[in-house]
Structure 1
Amino acid sequence: MALTLEMKFNTENGKTMTISISEPKDDLTPAEVSNVMQTIIDQDVFHYEGFSLIGINQARVIERNISEIALS
Protein backbone atom coordinates (compact mmCIF):
# COMPACT_ATOMS: atom_id res chain seq x y z
CA MET A 1 0.00 0.00 0.00
CA ALA A 2 1.34 3.43 -0.95
CA LEU A 3 0.27 6.58 0.89
CA THR A 4 0.48 10.13 -0.44
CA LEU A 5 -0.33 13.35 1.39
CA GLU A 6 -1.81 15.92 -1.00
CA MET A 7 -1.89 19.55 0.11
CA LYS A 8 -3.93 21.83 -2.15
CA PHE A 9 -3.50 25.60 -2.11
CA ASN A 10 -5.38 28.50 -3.67
CA THR A 11 -3.23 30.82 -5.79
CA GLU A 12 -3.41 34.54 -6.58
CA ASN A 13 -4.60 33.79 -10.11
CA GLY A 14 -7.60 31.76 -8.91
CA LYS A 15 -6.11 28.35 -9.64
CA THR A 16 -5.19 25.48 -7.35
CA MET A 17 -1.69 24.10 -6.79
CA THR A 18 -1.03 20.69 -5.25
CA ILE A 19 2.04 19.61 -3.30
CA SER A 20 2.31 15.83 -2.86
CA ILE A 21 4.37 14.09 -0.18
CA SER A 22 5.04 10.36 -0.53
CA GLU A 23 4.78 8.13 2.53
CA PRO A 24 3.78 10.71 5.18
CA LYS A 25 4.06 9.67 8.81
CA ASP A 26 1.11 7.65 10.09
CA ASP A 27 0.05 9.85 12.98
CA LEU A 28 -0.34 13.20 11.23
CA THR A 29 -2.97 15.41 12.82
CA PRO A 30 -5.13 17.96 11.03
CA ALA A 31 -3.47 20.69 13.13
CA GLU A 32 0.02 19.61 12.00
CA VAL A 33 -0.96 19.60 8.34
CA SER A 34 -2.72 22.95 8.64
CA ASN A 35 0.30 24.49 10.40
CA VAL A 36 2.68 23.24 7.71
CA MET A 37 0.43 24.52 4.94
CA GLN A 38 0.13 27.93 6.59
CA THR A 39 3.92 28.07 7.01
CA ILE A 40 4.37 27.34 3.29
CA ILE A 41 1.98 30.21 2.50
CA ASP A 42 3.57 32.61 5.02
CA GLN A 43 7.12 31.91 3.83
CA ASP A 44 6.09 32.40 0.18
CA VAL A 45 8.22 29.37 -0.73
CA PHE A 46 6.34 28.11 -3.79
CA HIS A 47 4.69 29.85 -6.74
CA TYR A 48 2.38 28.56 -9.45
CA GLU A 49 2.83 30.15 -12.87
CA GLY A 50 4.48 33.08 -11.11
CA PHE A 51 1.65 33.59 -8.61
CA SER A 52 1.89 33.18 -4.83
CA LEU A 53 -0.11 30.75 -2.75
CA ILE A 54 -2.76 32.67 -0.82
CA GLY A 55 -4.91 30.09 0.98
CA ILE A 56 -5.44 26.55 2.12
CA ASN A 57 -7.85 24.68 -0.12
CA GLN A 58 -7.77 21.07 1.09
CA ALA A 59 -5.55 18.29 2.39
CA ARG A 60 -6.03 14.56 2.01
CA VAL A 61 -4.21 11.27 2.30
CA ILE A 62 -4.53 9.00 -0.72
CA GLU A 63 -4.08 5.27 -0.29
CA ARG A 64 -3.17 3.10 -3.28
CA ASN A 65 -2.75 -0.63 -3.53
CA ILE A 66 -0.19 -1.67 -6.09
CA SER A 67 -0.03 -5.20 -7.50
CA GLU A 68 2.79 -6.15 -9.82
CA ILE A 69 1.91 -8.21 -12.88
CA ALA A 70 4.49 -10.84 -13.74
CA LEU A 71 5.14 -10.74 -17.47
CA SER A 72 6.86 -13.63 -19.19
Structure 2
Amino acid sequence: MEKILNIYFTTEDKKTYHIALSHPKDDLSKATVEAVAQKIVDTRVLNNDKHTLTAFKKATYTTREVSELQ
Protein backbone atom coordinates (compact mmCIF):
# COMPACT_ATOMS: atom_id res chain seq x y z
CA MET A 1 0.00 0.00 0.00
CA GLU A 2 1.32 3.43 -0.96
CA LYS A 3 1.04 6.28 1.54
CA ILE A 4 1.45 10.01 0.88
CA LEU A 5 1.59 12.83 3.42
CA ASN A 6 -0.10 16.00 2.17
CA ILE A 7 0.77 19.26 3.95
CA TYR A 8 -1.51 22.20 3.22
CA PHE A 9 -0.58 25.85 3.66
CA THR A 10 -2.45 29.13 3.35
CA THR A 11 -0.90 31.69 1.05
CA GLU A 12 -0.62 35.45 1.19
CA ASP A 13 -3.55 35.79 -1.25
CA LYS A 14 -5.77 33.53 0.92
CA LYS A 15 -5.46 30.48 -1.33
CA THR A 16 -4.31 26.96 -0.46
CA TYR A 17 -1.01 25.41 -1.53
CA HIS A 18 0.06 21.87 -0.72
CA ILE A 19 3.04 19.58 -0.97
CA ALA A 20 2.90 15.79 -1.17
CA LEU A 21 5.59 13.62 0.40
CA SER A 22 5.83 9.94 -0.53
CA HIS A 23 6.61 7.21 2.00
CA PRO A 24 6.26 9.19 5.25
CA LYS A 25 6.80 7.59 8.65
CA ASP A 26 3.70 5.92 10.07
CA ASP A 27 3.78 7.48 13.53
CA LEU A 28 3.79 11.20 12.67
CA SER A 29 1.70 13.44 14.91
CA LYS A 30 -0.02 16.65 13.90
CA ALA A 31 2.38 18.58 16.17
CA THR A 32 5.42 17.10 14.43
CA VAL A 33 4.12 17.89 10.95
CA GLU A 34 3.00 21.36 12.04
CA ALA A 35 6.49 22.12 13.39
CA VAL A 36 8.09 21.12 10.07
CA ALA A 37 5.47 23.10 8.15
CA GLN A 38 6.25 26.16 10.26
CA LYS A 39 9.94 25.81 9.41
CA ILE A 40 9.00 25.69 5.72
CA VAL A 41 6.97 28.90 6.14
CA ASP A 42 9.70 30.63 8.19
CA THR A 43 12.53 29.80 5.78
CA ARG A 44 10.43 30.77 2.74
CA VAL A 45 11.99 27.89 0.83
CA LEU A 46 8.85 27.25 -1.28
CA ASN A 47 7.93 30.89 -1.94
CA ASN A 48 8.10 32.26 -5.48
CA ASP A 49 6.39 34.81 -7.73
CA LYS A 50 3.17 32.78 -7.79
CA HIS A 51 2.70 32.20 -4.05
CA THR A 52 3.98 33.16 -0.62
CA LEU A 53 3.21 30.69 2.16
CA THR A 54 1.93 32.30 5.36
CA ALA A 55 0.74 29.49 7.64
CA PHE A 56 0.16 25.77 8.13
CA LYS A 57 -3.46 24.82 7.37
CA LYS A 58 -3.73 21.03 7.78
CA ALA A 59 -2.09 17.69 7.05
CA THR A 60 -3.62 14.51 5.66
CA TYR A 61 -2.55 11.03 4.67
CA THR A 62 -3.59 9.58 1.32
CA THR A 63 -3.32 5.82 0.99
CA ARG A 64 -3.61 3.88 -2.21
CA GLU A 65 -3.43 0.20 -2.93
CA VAL A 66 -1.89 -0.76 -6.24
CA SER A 67 -2.35 -4.23 -7.74
CA GLU A 68 -0.58 -5.42 -10.84
CA LEU A 69 -2.74 -7.17 -13.40
CA GLN A 70 -1.84 -10.80 -13.89
TM-score, structure 2 normalization: 0.89
- Determine what percentage of the aligned residue pairs are the same residue: 37
Decide which structure has greater strand share: 1
**Change in CA separation of 1:64 and 1:49 when aligned onto 2, cut-off 3 Å:** farther
Which runs of 4 or more aligned residues in structure 1 lie more than 3 Å from their structure 2 counterparts after TM superposition? none
Structure 2: which 5+ residue stretches go unaligned?
none
TM-score by length of 1: 0.86
Q: Is the 8 A contact 1:6 1:59 kept in 2?
A: yes
Aligned equivalents of 2:38 and 2:15: distance in 1?
A: 17
Larger Rg: 1
Offset at 1:49?
4.7
Distance 1:49 1:66 in 2: 37
Name 1:54's counterpart in structure 2. Answer: 54
Structure 1 stretches lacking a partner, 5+ long:
none
Question: RMSD over aligned Cα, in angstroms?
Answer: 1.3
